[in-house]
């Protein structure tokens, strides 16, 4: 069963509560949430604390690239009660007996477009404000961060964006100029560390979802709607959740 609900990601804690209301939880239970690394700030500073306050249960989060987390679930390397992904296709890869039957339903609860976030102290700020973004990102010395397209939907969407930009701006070879190879080790970083590296000045710019830049108050460049791909966040309860008392009626 697949549902689509268009609401603010700030209401994610409420979604947890609605999901949990199907049965009673243990008074002192932990709720293990495996989630897309792009939601670190939202989960740890907002949704998690709000959930604990409303439910009385303890929120325990684990962040990582959605593909990476899904592979860990599939390989039984990571257990969780709730899985929050940045791409419905990843949930689909966990549906059915051949995929371990880890997911039987999910809710799409928010969308977030890809943007270019930048450090306000970067020496490239003036160029970012006055030149086309694709010209600045190709300038020598600029430190760019992004996620692994094999492990994280945002990384794959970044590659997709730059390929689309080549046609949109009539700039063949633009992707190669800006990111090089899709798995370029000089740029690819774990998703859960990207915001921190930008804020600390280790990076000048990075590719983020708008929900990340808004939550962390990172200045960002909005990309044209024609080429800006979007994350589609989903939430589900996993099979064999560690807290079956509350899961059994909805799993």
Domain count, the chain: 2
Instruction: Tell me: do 85 and 150 sit in the same domain.
Output: no
Alpha-carbon distance of 12 to 7, in angstroms, equals 9
- For CA atoms 62, 65, 68, 73, the dihedral sign is positive
Let me know: does 66 contact 86? Beta carbons within 8 Å.
yes
Strands 144-145 and 205-209: parallel
> Residue 134: in which H helix or E strand, if any?
helix 133-136
Provide the CATH number for the domain around residue 196: 3.40.190.10
Residue 57: what pLDDT?
80
Q: Tell me: do 165 and 84 sit in the same domain.
A: no
Distance (Å, rounded) from C-alpha 34 to C-alpha 242?
Answer: 12
Same domain, yes or no: 23 and 76: yes
Whether pLDDT at 229 is above 50: yes
Structural tokens at position 191: 């998703």
- Residues 13 and 30 occupy one common structural domain: yes
**Residues 25 and 77 grouped into a single domain:** yes
Asked if residue 227 and residue 118 are part of one domain, the reply reads yes
Structure tokens at 21: 């209301």
Determine phi and psi for 190, rounding to 5 degrees: -60, 140
Q: Measured between alpha carbons, how far is 19 from 247 in angstroms, rounded to an integer?
A: 9
State which residues form the domain around 42: 2-111+233-247
Are 73 and 27 part of one and the same domain?
Answer: yes
Are both 16 and 71 inside the same structural domain? Answer: yes
Shared domain for 105 and 119, answered yes or no, is no
**Alpha carbons 205 and 176: distance in angstroms, whole number:** 17
The answer to whether residues 21 and 69 belong to one domain is: yes
Is the confidence at residue 133, as pLDDT, over 60?
yes
pLDDT band (50, 70, 90) for residue 26: very low
Same domain as 132, residue 58:
no
Whether 153 and 209 share a structural domain? yes
248 pLDDT above the threshold of 90: no
Q: Enumerate residues 6+ apart whose C-beta is below 8 A from 77.
A: 71
Q: What is the mean pLDDT of the chain?
A: 86
At 230, give phi and psi (nearest 5°). -125, 145
| pLDDT exceeds cutoff 50 at 77 | yes
pTM, entire model: 0.80
For residue 28, pLDDT beyond 50: no
């Amino acid at each position: 069963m697949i549902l689509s609900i268009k609401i603010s990601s700030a209401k994610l804690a409420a979604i947890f509560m609605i999901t949990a209301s199907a049965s009673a939880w243990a008074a002192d239970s932990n709720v293990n949430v495996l989630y897309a690394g792009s939601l670190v700030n939202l989960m740890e500073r907002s949704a998690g604390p709000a959930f604990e306050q409303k439910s009385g249960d303890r929120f325990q989060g684990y962040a990582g690239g959605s593909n990476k987390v899904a592979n860990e679930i599939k390989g039984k390397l990571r257990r969780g009660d709730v899985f929050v992904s940045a791409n419905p296709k990843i949930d689909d890869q966990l549906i059915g007996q051949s995929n371990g039957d880890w997911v039987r339903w999910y809710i799409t609860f928010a969308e977030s477009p890809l943007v270019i976030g930048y450090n306000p102290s970067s020496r490239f700020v003036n160029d970012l404000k006055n030149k086309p973004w694709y010209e600045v990102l190709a300038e020598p010395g600029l430190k760019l961060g992004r996620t692994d397209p094999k492990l994280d939907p945002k990384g794959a969407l970044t590659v997709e964006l730059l390929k689309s930009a080549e046609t949109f701006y009539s700039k063949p070879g633009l992707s190669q100029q800006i990111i090089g190879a899709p798995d370029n080790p000089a740029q690819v970083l774990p998703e859960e560390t990207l915001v921190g590296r930008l804020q600390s000045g280790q990076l000048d710019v990075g590719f983020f979802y708008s929900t990340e830049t808004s939550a962390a108050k990172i200045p960002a460049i909005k990309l044209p709607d024609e080429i800006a791909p979007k994350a589609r966040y989903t939430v589900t309860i996993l099979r064999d959740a560690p807290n079956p008392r509350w899961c059994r009626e909805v799993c």
